[in-house]
Amino acid sequence: MKAYRVYLTLNLVTSVAFWLAFAVNSIYYVTVARLDPLQLVLVGTTLEAAVFLFEIPTGVVADVYSRRLSIIIGIFMIGAGFLLEGSLPVFGAILLSQVLWGIGYTFTSGATQAWITDEVGGEEAAAPIFLRGAQFDQLGSLAGILLSTILAAVTRINLPILACGAIFIGLGFFLILVMPETGFHPTPRSERTTWNSMLHVMRSGLGTVRHHPTLSSILVAGFFFGLYSEGLDRLWTVHLLQRFTFPLFPTVVWIGGIELVSLLLAMLATELVKRKLNLKRWRSLVGTLLALSTIIFICLLGFSQAWSLALAIGFYWVLTALRHVISPLYTATVNQGLSSEVRATVISVSSQVDAIGQIGGGPLVGLIARQASIPVGLLGSALLLTPALGILGRIFNKRVETIEAD
């Protein structure tokens, strides 16, 4: 199926490109742009603020006009953002780059999942495709980290970031040529003359959330996922750089190697979940989310307080691998029982909830890290995850099988 192949290609190439930048940008921020812990977190907060402001409007555009068009626009904007980031190692320019690629991401978020769901015939057919896409995403991440580490070690540390931007621009032109859209039926042109159709879809999507308490609870848990994650994402590299000494190899090789192993573990964990988990059962999805989140909480506590480099890396490997598994499972959970006309909007709501959490949690953890220490800030991140464990536990104990049962 052409759409299936395009979806997997999209996951693979975007992952290669993202990890070209992600594998080195924390080191780039600290060693070239000279950002402090609070500035590091504010970079992430700016990104998430852009996601927060544009996630639902761009999701509605995907539902009303064209998911294909929305995805292509987003890919070009992401590329422009990374080209700016790699060109100017200045705090203000880095913030602007986050706005650019953050808005671009919102054009793809929700639209990509909704596009493939409609192209393959519904959410049950899409659930295993999400996991297969995650595996291609992990394969691309592996290649991206290797390429990034090599480029940064033998040339300049900003070159992988520039290469990331160039790949996204090329991908945009590729999608223009090959991306199909046959399962989606846009709003008739006669009904697009005002904002009424967009507002109707938005109201329908938010109404779906309001009328299904279990879905609402899942989204609240997603808020706490965002609340805890931003501090970890922005501070884990500087935590290792400041707390430990890296022997034998350059820092960029160590960081690249750490990311490489964590992704190999993520690929293994995703395959095990794909084989063992019943993706059609709501309770199986929720129970797996609860178990993995609990392990992440324990490992984040250990990572923040570890007294040796080996122990810290071990905790980081486990919690990062499980975070890669949680992402497609969370999407599959939110996607259960949604109608096609509001699917992209509701998935965009879930992304916006995550962004709100990251906007709130990031600066808090950054302030704690600057005023006290980075390990204390990471400990705070772990504590911010605890409400999600309680929410998922309560949902699991309700023995709810589907959203329609609410």
Q: Is the pLDDT of residue 71 over 80?
A: yes
In a domain, 186, yes or no: no
* Tally of CB atoms within 10 A around 200: 17
**Alpha-carbon gap, residue 63 to 353, rounded angstroms:** 19
**Do 231 and 365 form a contact (C-beta atoms < 8 A)?**
yes
Residue 210 has pLDDT above 90, yes or no: no
pLDDT at 211: 62
pLDDT at residue number 203: 62
What range defines the domain where residue 231 resides? 2-179+200-405
- The string of pLDDT tens digits covering residues 388-402 is 888 888 877 775 444
- The answer as to whether 332 is a domain residue is yes
Q: Is 307 helix (H, G, I), strand (E, B) or coil?
A: coil
Closest CA to 282 of 353, 332, 213, 346: 332
Encoded tokens for 181: 């859209």
- pLDDT bin (cut points 50, 70, 90) of residue 21 is very high
Residue 160 has a pLDDT of: 94
pLDDT confidence of residue 162: 95
**Mean pLDDT lowest among 93-107, 246-260, 288-302:** 246-260
DSSP code of residue 245: -
The helix/strand/coil state of 313 is helix
Q: What CATH number does the domain containing 57 carry?
A: 1.20.1250.20
Q: DSSP string spanning 142-183?
A: HHHHHHHHHHHHHS-TTHHHHHHHHHHHHHHHHHHHH----S
Within a domain: 191: no
Q: Quick check: is 190 in a domain?
A: no
Residue 23, in any domain of the structure: yes
Is 222 domain-assigned? yes
**Residue 169 domain-assigned (yes or no):** yes
How many domains does one find in the chain?
Answer: 1
Task: Give the pLDDT confidence of 161-180 residue by residue, as tens digits.
Answer: 999 999 999 999 999 999 88
**pLDDT of 200 higher than 50:** yes
In a domain, 193, yes or no: no
